[in-house]
Structure 1
Amino acid sequence: MGTQNQESLFYDYVRRLEHHRQGREMMHLHLSKLRPFNRREHHIRVAADAFEGLVKELLGQLFVLHNSDIVFIFKMEAMGQVEQALEKVKFLFGDDPLLSEEEVDGHGFTSWFDVETEYDQIVAMARDLVDAQNKAGSLTGPSHDVKANLLAKQEEGEKLTPRTLDRLVEALKAADLTNMVRRQYVCKVEGAQNVPNPYFSELFISISDLRDTLLPGSNLTSSPWLFQHLTETLDRRVLSLLSKTEDRDITGDISINLNVATLLSPEFLKFDENVIAAMRGNIVLELQQLDVFSDLNAYLFAREFVKQRGYRICIDGVNYKTLPFIDRERLEADLIKLIWHPDILLGGHDLTDRVKRHIMLTGPARVILSRCDTEESVEFGREIGIELYQGRHVEALIAEENRRKSMRVLKKRAAAHEKQSGHKKSLSKRT
């Protein structure tokens, strides 16, 4: 079912509940109020996934609305599980101002309704959503703006189905992924001139490049379950690629993003067998915080194995709100990747001091400050002793440093050429 029909499905479902209202609750997550960078398609997919287990157990019904809001109607007996799922979602969006507002006044991100006593209000809400969606549909019809329609269709893309996924997985087996591998450096930034010195490079495969090369016009993230299967397949291909240690493009200290489940797979065991023992210490395994906490026992088991083999572990996706809950030492992680956000400075002295205090507890030398797109992010980090940085500003520093090196080389060559020319002139005079 596509999200474009969810409003109608929600309305129909609510109408069918008219004689079954008792013992049901409705939760409305206002994801549409989140900042734009927090409500991209994969964010909505992960948020919806948090409730999928309850849907499968027939304890509730989920609707992802066109504006990205999520509505979940469930049986009261599942309240505990719903609250746990909600905490996971809040964890995901912890760095958004909307969550701060909810902490202060109790409103903003989540609205709750008792289906039995507030049924008429819910029906009215569902009807309004359908009307609004129908109106929006008529406005964006062919007579209104053909170009906008075409762009929207291209962006939405062909839905990923089991059949197209099979085609993609088959294509992946034969595809040369080396041209799709992207590299972004994690650097130490040193000296008054902010000179970047690469510490390791993160290797990743761009999903958009993969789509454009192997399955143009498709929407690879349209189905959460199929996309999850795709990422696990990608994990296996990346591991296979990295096993070929003779490939010069992927040598040196590197980091790779993997699922916790992949670390427990036969493919990782095979990869481990092919990696020279001395190289394992050069490989950082980046695991998403959400993945780690969704199955902590699996993480602890996987961690024991990979640490014994000599790999390093980095907990990725940590933001300034979730940082206090990440005990790096207890998780026995070597590094934590903290996402930079301007609010760290704009939130006032109390917030800034609190973030600094937690970074000090974590160990500044064990923190990578990521998404450093501005100079102020690096300045903040250096002030409290963070050594490692990643992001667009760091890439710009690398480019600038490379330019300086090239200029120094050219000057040396010019000086050497001038010296050689002078030497030839003096010889010609003698003769």
Structure 2
Amino acid sequence: MAQQPNLASQEYLLLDYAQRLDRHREGRRAVHVHLSRLKPQNRREHHIRIALNTLDDFVQTFEGQSFLLGNNDLIFVVKGASLQQLDEAVMRMRYLFSDDPLTQTDADSTDGHGRFATLYNVEGQYPKFMELCERVFEEERARQKRLQQMAEQTGETFEDSRRPLKPEQLGRLEEFLERSDLSSVFKRQAVSVVHKDNPPKPIFNELFISIFDLAKTVLPDVNLAANRWLFQHLTQTLDRRVLKMLARADDRSLHSSFSINVNVQTLLAPEFLEFDSSLRMGSRGTLVVELQLIDILSDYPSFVFARDFVREKGYRICLDGITPELTHFIDRNFMEIDLVKLSAGPVFDSGGSETLRKEVSEQVDRIGKGRIILSRCDNETMIRTGQNMGITMFQGRYLDAVYQQMSRSKNPPIPRAAKR
């Protein structure tokens, strides 16, 4: 039930967090600390780590969250902190870098903290804060794309700087998940039908917890997915914990159409039976179980058994996490699955390879246009490209933004794609 984004960057998590703040703005302030403007010798890894440690207690005291961006800038959001308390927190950070020219401007000037930090009143300046979050996300995505292209040009491997997950760290993270109240980070994202220029229409919600969002507070320097088998064990543990939580929850979304992303072994566990029996049989809508391809292939006989078992109970099966390059290998009829969730990679974006786009379009025809959900749609271009291939079901941040706009207006225009 853990969602596995292709790039769980801090920028991605920041934007997701900011979107969820839309209905919870009261009393919240944010600070953008421009550590990237420090001299290189003053923003080495140990400098940044000390700065984060200095801020930790303050952020936790005020029910906040902090995000260290790829360019070393720091953005933190707190609730209920006064301007004086924010000023004291920023001044403590300025003191750490007192030898740098960036901090030597007068903090009492009319510019506040000048080029060192920018303050946002989230309650009153939410659109401005969202614009910042969208911009840093797009800038980081462009930076990652440049680095990948440079690595391809030079024949080098573009590696993740985070360390792989170790067994002892897995135990620590599982203990943290066991203690945590997961309801506060439980998320929903609509899968929608989009016909031509008509507004999107939600058909079911995916219910999930972003395990990376949780883990970043415990193991921010660790790549959880680097060790596939340790990561799979972790997701199985999380699956069982979340199913127990859902089985005891009085959640109206469980009485309508929804999907859950789980491991094959989870479908055979007692927790799934308890969860299934807790659902109101009379009010069930479309129930979808999403499974990862690598999990299926690791024990295909168990998949076949689990597939037939949940189908008898009325669930539909969705193959999740399929990239455009993997579509050649997917035989939906042989696997007897109902849906395929295809990730919208660069081929669906502006500037994508026309040759690859044609190949993907052919595979979409073969798999079944009406059986594909195009996920991770970050902008309107990706949706239009999918529509041109005959795809009608979509999911992603762009549609989340559309629904937010629709909720604020009776007759909303379709919002523009995030700035590039």
The bucket for the TM-score relative to the shorter chain is 0.5 to 0.7
Secondary structure, counterpart of 1:405 in structure 2? coil
In structure 1, the residue matched to 2:44 is: 147
The secondary structure found in structure 2 opposite 1:190 is coil
| Structure 1 residues 152 and 40: alpha-carbon distance in aligned structure 2, compared to 1, 3 A threshold | farther
Q: 1:232 aligns with which of 236, 242, 245?
A: 236
- Cα distance between partner residues in 1 of 2:296 and 2:169: 30
Q: Does 1:376 align with 2:381?
A: yes
Corresponding position: 1:323 with 2:319: no
Task: Give the deviation of 1:366 after TM superposition.
Answer: 0.8
* Deviation at residue 294 of structure 1 after TM alignment: 2.4
**Letter matched to residue 395 of structure 1:** D
- Asked if 1:276 corresponds to 2:280, the answer is yes
The one of 211, 217, 229 aligned to 2:215: 211
Answer whether contact 2:256 2:285 (CA < 8 A) is retained: no
RMSD: 3.5
Partner of 1:421: none
- 1:259 aligns with 263
Percent sequence identity is 41
Unaligned runs of 5+ in 1: 1-36, 42-142, 409-431
Offset of residue 347 of structure 1: 6.0
Residue number in structure 2 paired with 1:247: 251
Rate the CA distance shift 1:280–1:264 in 2: closer, same or farther, 3 A: farther
1:154-203 CA distance string (max 9 Å, x none): 888898665664454344344321111122211111353x4011111112
Look up the SS of the partner of 1:333 in the other structure. coil
Deviations 1:67-107 (A, max 9, x none): xxxxxxxxxxxxxxxxxxxxxxxxxxxxxxxxxxxxxxxxx
> Does residue 312 of structure 2 align to residue 308 of structure 1?
yes
* TM superposition score normalised by structure 1: 0.54
- Tell whether 2:182 aligns with 1:285: no
Number of the residue aligned with 1:357: 362
CA contact (8 A) 2:192 2:200 kept: yes
Q: Would the alpha carbon gap of residues 347 and 360 (structure 1) be closer, same or farther in structure 2, given more than 3 Å must change?
A: same
Question: Shift of the alpha carbon at 1:289?
Answer: 1.5
Change in 2 beyond 3 A, CA 1:159/1:355: closer
Q: Which amino acid aligns with 2:369?
A: P
Q: Structure 1 pair 149/241, CA: closer, same or farther in 2 (3 Å)?
A: same
Amino acid at match of 2:202: P
Structure with higher Rg: it is 1
Aligned residue among 337, 341, 344 for 1:337: 341
- C-alpha deviation, 1:317, in angstroms: 1.1
Cross-structure match for 1:198: 202
Matches of 2:284 and 2:255, distance apart in 1: 12
Specify the SS of the correspondent of 2:410.
helix
5+ long unaligned stretches in structure 2: 10-39, 53-67, 69-160, 414-420
Q: In the alignment, is residue 297 of structure 1 matched against residue 301 of structure 2?
A: yes
Higher relative contact order (CA 8 A, sep 6+): 2
Change (3 A) 1:161 1:279: farther
The verdict on how the C-alpha distance between 1:406 and 1:389 changes in structure 2, with shifts beyond 3 A counting, is same
Question: Distance in 2 between the 1:367 and 1:407 partners?
Answer: 27
TM-score (norm 2): 0.55
Q: Is this contact kept in 2: 1:344–1:355, CA < 8 A? A: no
* Residue 366, structure 1, aligned to residue 263, structure 2: no
Is 1:181 aligned to 2:186, yes or no?
yes
The AA in structure 2 aligned to 1:234 is: L
**Higher normalized helix content (fraction of residues):** 1
Name the CA distance, whole Å, in 2 between partners of 1:267 and 1:152.
40
Corresponding residue for 2:84? none
**What are the residue-to-residue correspondences of 1:159-178 with 2, within 5 Å?**
165-166=170-171, 168-178=173-183
Q: How far apart, in 1, do the equivalents of 2:352 and 2:244 lie? A: 45
